[in-house]
Amino acid sequence: MPSAVLHPMFDRQILRVVIGSRAYGLDGTDSDTDRRGVFLPTADQHWSLDGVPEVLKEDPIEWMAWELQKFLRLALKANPTVLECLFTPLVEQATPLGRELLELRTVFLSKRLHATCGGYAEQQFAKLRRRTEARKPINWKHAAHCLRLLATGAKALAGDGFPVHVGPHRDVLLGVRRGEKSLEEVDELRAEWSSGLDLALRNSPLPATPDVEEVDAFLIHARRLAAKSKDLP
């Protein structure tokens, strides 16, 4: 663990996980360890005039955490980064309430994933093409990240959870990240994997929208626990 002094609210984390290349199976010897978490303030902190931050960041050491309500809202919108926190196999800390949150994770999966995974990838590839036209260098790691989102979104829409590890796509994505493919070849992959995402949407067993009522009940449950005791639930 880093020796840096963290914001005291990091001590209120109910869940802390590792995402990024180490969770994707794309890490190397020089890869950072990207830690993400969810924190629940005490009732006094939540009710005070000062309030609590929605997001905590410690950039030099790649740590970040969301306040529970903010995290849940993002998850309901099918934010891919937030969903990765719920499905990553690398869980470093989970309190009893954190484990309840993990058990709730499939509730957040819906057909909205097509827009968030596919839409983001399309926007980013458009930027990559503009950079090429302007004769600017391409961030191949970012290109691989966009492809990974298309593959993950397709698997999720097919009802396979939200797979974080890239599995059989590892070698292809590593090749893209190392710049071993031309932009035309990468764009062909994008088109192929985008079609797979569209097909997965048409056949998806997921609901059109997530179960907001169940998530709201969980948040109220968490707030009641925080009001009942200052101990981390």
1 confidence band (pLDDT: 50, 70, 90) = very low
Condensed to tens digits (0 to 9), the pLDDT of residues 97-133 reads 999 999 999 999 999 999 999 998 888 888 888 888 8
Provide the CATH number for the domain formed by 8-108+210-228 in this structure: 3.30.460
Tokens of 223: 């707030």
Looking at the chain, the number of H-run helices and the number of E-run strands are 11, 5
As beta bridge partners, residue 57 has 64
Position 18 scores a pLDDT of 97
Q: How far is CA 65 from the centre of its chain?
A: 12
| For the chain, percent of residues with pLDDT exceeding 90 | 79
Read off the pLDDT band of 4 (50, 70, 90). low
Secondary structure class of 105 (helix, strand, coil): helix
Smallest Cα–Cα separation from 55: which of 71, 72, 76? Answer: 71
Q: pTM here?
A: 0.93
Q: For the chain, what are the domain ranges?
A: 8-108+210-228, 113-202
